[in-house]
Amino acid sequence: MVSGNNLGVHAPNFLHKKNLLFNMATLQSDLGYFAEAEQFLVDIQKTDEETYGKESAEYFESSKALIELYILTDQAQKTLEESLNLRKSTEKNSLENIVTYKWEGDAYSIQGSFKKAERSLNKGIEIYQKNGLEGTFEYASILNSMAILYLE
């Protein structure tokens, strides 16, 4: 992923505003105001896309926060849409790309589509293993999703 900075002298103000919005989203989510949290995160994601582009680390991180909120609130369709869109903008076999299989599997699990969930999670696990990424937090996370799926 490439991170560009098109902000120039406005960077400190922009980053301060972005951090404030992210903190507000976290607070709203913690208080159970998920729709409000979602709006903050959608705004951050849109700003990151416009400022840095879809292939940037900033866009990935804001998308990740939004996807994690969707999983937390059992919004499977939004999780699927965001994770598939994010997969298209990440480098194949990168950690950012592979983690989208975990989110896809989680979304299918939320929907009750357990075979699809298992396929997605297995695909991600296979890619982690092929690329020697078994020692990563993300690998442990996808294994955890698989364990939860088998317990359901």
Share of the chain above pLDDT 70, in %: 91
Read off the pLDDT of each residue in 14-43 and give the average, rounded to a whole number: 92
Note the pTM of the prediction, 2 decimals.
0.86
70 neighbors 84 (Cβ within 8 angstroms): no
Q: What is the pLDDT of residues 94-138, one digit of tens each?
A: 999 999 999 999 999 999 999 999 999 999 999 999 999 999 999
**142 vs 1 pLDDT, higher one:** 142
Read off the pLDDT of each residue in 24-40 and give the average, rounded to a whole number: 96
pLDDT given for residue 3 in this prediction: 44
Which of 3, 17, 83 minimizes the C-alpha distance to 47?
Answer: 17
pLDDT given for residue 76 in this prediction: 97
Q: What is the mean pLDDT of the chain?
A: 91
pLDDT given for residue 63 in this prediction: 97
Q: What is the pLDDT of residues 42-96, one digit of tens each?
A: 999 999 999 999 999 999 999 999 999 999 999 999 999 999 999 999 999 899 9
pLDDT given for residue 152 in this prediction: 82
Alpha carbon 106 to its chain centroid, in Å, reads: 11
pLDDT given for residue 1 in this prediction: 43
CB contact set of 1 (below 8 Å; sequence gap of 6+): 55, 56, 57, 60, 90, 91, 94, 96
